[in-house]
């Protein structure tokens, strides 16, 4: 169902409710994966609690997903910082080796 601006209308189901979402054809797979993930997280919250409204389930899911995202972002930043330090140390060693090599060749 492509329309003039090269988007598709995709139907996703979250907690047995259908939502129509427009996205580019390249984003359909990611949208489906995302909606399946959100659906599973919402079902986890729904099954683990007393009767909750859909709004409350959605908010709790959003908070949990934000927490997961921020934790992963912190991990990624830590890895980036660590690798950046390693690169800086290796660059310093290479610089020292080049200086020694230039002094030997004089």
Residues in a beta bridge with 13: 18
| Domain annotation covers residue 89 | no
Residue 55 lies in a domain: yes
Does the residue 98 lie in any domain? no
Residue-range definition of the domain harbouring residue 46:
8-76
pLDDT interval class at 78 (50, 70, 90): very high
Q: Is residue 88 part of a domain?
A: no
pTM to 2 decimal places: 0.72
Closest by alpha carbon to 24, among 48, 4, 46? 4
30-74 pLDDT tens trace: 999 999 999 999 999 999 877 779 999 999 999 999 999 999 999
Give the CATH number of the domain where residue 52 resides.
3.30.160.880
Is residue 25 within 8 Å of 6, Cβ to Cβ?
yes
Q: How far is CA 68 from the centre of its chain?
A: 9
C-alpha 85/C-alpha 71 separation (Å) is 21
Query: Is residue 102 assigned to a domain?
Result: no
Examine residue 100 and state whether it is found in any structural domain, yes or no.
no
Residue 85 lies in a domain: no
What confidence category does residue 2 fall into, taking pLDDT thresholds of 50, 70 and 90? very low
Say yes or no to pLDDT of 5 above 80. Answer: no
Angle between helices 54-104 and 28-47 (to 10 degrees): 120
pLDDT at position 3 over 70: no
30-39 pLDDT per residue, tens: 999 999 999 9
Report the domain count for the chain: 1
Residue 67 in any domain: the answer is yes
């Amino acid at each position: 169902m492509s329309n003039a601006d090269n988007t598709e209308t995709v139907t996703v189901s979250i907690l047995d409710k259908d939502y129509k979402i427009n996205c580019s054809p390249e984003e359909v797979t990611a949208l489906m994966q995302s909606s399946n993930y959100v659906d599973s997280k919402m079902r986890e919250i729904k099954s683990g609690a007393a009767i909750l409204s859909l709004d409350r389930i959605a908010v709790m899911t959003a908070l949990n997903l934000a927490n997961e995202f921020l934790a992963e972002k912190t991990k990624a930043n830590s890895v980036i910082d660590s690798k950046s330090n390693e690169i800086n140390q290796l660059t310093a060693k290479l610089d020292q080796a080049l200086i020694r090599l230039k002094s030997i060749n004089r």
